[in-house]
């Protein structure tokens, strides 16, 4: 992870150097030049501090939040402006690299000026700019009683990052307004400790669904990212978090399955503990979770980390019709316009946001309800998912 962050830092530096060329083309004021580099040195020092903390397993939320916000405001507009300058360099290459055109540099600065308020909106308002994402998924073997059955999915609450009760309530009200049959939460209720949920228990208890509310644990829920005074304290924290799931009305599934019944027919809802590739813990056990589920049952799996789908679920001996995941947050930064979807997280995860299909097995990756690290969202907005199950032949 740290190696990839260093790569991202290198890309930011390239964009920074390009942008500096535009600045020097437009002004020869040495004081402004010095101020430019002073700000950059401070930001780069902050980024390196974050990488060091990640490698050491430490977590200093305030420093991470401030540095990430400043980095986004400084570097992202420069990256887009650099595309203009790179296009100019393509032309300059065939002309013997003459001096930069002052008008092209003005366009580059204008591009940066356009993106600056977008980034500012994301880190100030984007954290509660909830969007409802809807998908209809057709299955030939869906039980007839569940034709048209609706599921609302939320994921990655990260309650330890919340500070705005009205903003959080806005998202919860929107989730309830979908009036779905079933409500599922796919992990990361907290950042580190169960106590982070104490101010929000009554709010999340307001979530309703006629066929119930079910949940699983995410990688942050185990308390693995902080130092505990003892193993007993860590175990007590996890025990308390499980109690909070019950207090908010969610049935927590721990490598187990339950049966959802409707009009004499049923489907199996399976929930595994967190399982992630690479350095993430592998608490999940799909074999155990499905041990009492009939092979012919229609199955919906909740598994926090989407890498579990690729690494385990697709090859599972039982057909898992639909998997619901979260975890990626869409990196809380990217572009989603007119069907185009991009975020740096795609270089970390093959499946990172939205619906995926492989051989009639579906995965939906929720972009997350909350936020973590960066105290905001830019382009990849907080999500409430509504999935409609349909019975029929797949085109």
End-to-end CA distance of the chain: 40
User: In this structure, are residues 305 and 165 in contact, taking their beta carbons and an 8 Å threshold?
Assistant: no
Backbone angles phi, psi at 2, to 5 degrees: -60, -35
Considering the domain architecture, whether residues 75 and 172 belong to the same structural domain is answered as no
Considering the domain architecture, whether residues 232 and 303 belong to the same structural domain is answered as yes
> What total of structural domains would you count in the chain?
2
CATH at 154: 3.60.21.10
Considering the domain architecture, whether residues 374 and 299 belong to the same structural domain is answered as yes
pTM over 0.75: yes
Q: What is the pLDDT along the chain (395 residues), one digit of tens a residue?
A: 456 566 666 777 777 777 878 878 888 888 877 787 777 777 667 666 665 655 444 455 566 666 667 777 878 888 888 889 889 989 988 888 898 889 998 998 899 898 899 999 999 999 999 999 999 999 999 999 999 999 999 999 999 999 999 999 999 999 999 999 999 999 999 999 999 999 999 999 999 999 999 999 999 999 999 999 999 999 999 999 999 999 999 999 999 999 999 999 999 999 999 999 988 999 999 999 999 999 999 999 999 999 999 999 999 999 999 999 999 999 999 999 988 999 999 999 999 999 999 999 999 999 999 999 888 999 999 999 999 999 998 87
Considering the domain architecture, whether residues 120 and 141 belong to the same structural domain is answered as no
User: In this structure, are residues 215 and 245 in contact, taking their beta carbons and an 8 Å threshold?
Assistant: yes
Last residue of a domain, one of 124, 143, 171: 124
- 87: domain range? 2-124
Quickly count: other Cβ atoms within 10 Å of residue 274's Cβ: 24
Last residue of a domain, one of 124, 149, 172: 124
Of 171, 130, 157, 309, which is closest to residue 218 (Cα–Cα)?
157
């Amino acid at each position: 992870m740290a190696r990839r962050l260093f790569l991202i830092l290198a890309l930011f530096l390239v964009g920074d150097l390009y942008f500096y060329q535009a600045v020097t083309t437009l002004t020869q004021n040495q004081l402004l030049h010095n101020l430019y580099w002073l700000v950059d040195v401070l930001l780069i020092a902050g980024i390196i501090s974050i990488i060091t903390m990640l490698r050491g397993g430490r977590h200093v939320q305030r420093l991470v939040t401030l540095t990430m916000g400043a980095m986004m405001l400084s570097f992202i507009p420069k990256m887009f402006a650099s595309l203009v300058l790179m296009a100019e360099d393509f032309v300059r290459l065939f002309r013997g690299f003459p001096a930069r055109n002052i008008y092209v540099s003005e366009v580059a600065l204008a591009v940066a000026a356009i993106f600056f308020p977008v980034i500012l909106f994301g880190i100030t308002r984007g954290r509660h700019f909830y969007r409802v994402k809807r998908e209809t998924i057709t299955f030939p073997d869906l039980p007839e009683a569940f034709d048209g059955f609706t599921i609302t999915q939320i994921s990655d609450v990260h309650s330890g990052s919340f500070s705005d009760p009205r903003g959080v309530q806005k998202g919860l009200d929107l989730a309830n307004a979908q009036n779905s049959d079933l409500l599922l939460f796919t992990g990361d209720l907290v950042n580190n400790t169960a106590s982070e949920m104490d101010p929000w228990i009554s709010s999340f208890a307001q979530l309703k669904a006629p066929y119930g509310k079910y949940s699983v644990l995410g990688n942050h829920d185990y308390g693995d990212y902080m130092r505990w005074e003892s193993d007993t304290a860590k175990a007590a924290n996890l025990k308390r978090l499980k109690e909070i799931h019950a207090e908010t009305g969610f049935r927590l599934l721990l490598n187990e399955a339950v049966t959802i019944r409707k009009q004499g027919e049923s489907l199996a809802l399976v929930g595994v503990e967190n399982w992630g590739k690479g350095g993430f813990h592998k608490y999940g056990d799909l074999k155990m979770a499905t041990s009492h589920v009939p092979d012919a049952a229609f199955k919906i799996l909740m598994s926090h980390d989407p890498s579990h789908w690729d690494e385990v679920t697709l090859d599972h001996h039982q057909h898992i019709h639909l998997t619901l995941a979260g975890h990626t947050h869409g990196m809380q930064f990217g572009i989603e316009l007119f069907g185009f979807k991009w975020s740096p997280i795609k270089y970390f995860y093959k499946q990172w946001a939205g619906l995926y299909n492989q051989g009639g097995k579906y995965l939906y990756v929720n972009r997350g309800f909350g936020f973590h690290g960066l105290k905001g969202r830019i382009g990849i907005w907080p999500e409430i998912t509504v999935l409609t199950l349909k019975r029929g032949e797949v085109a």
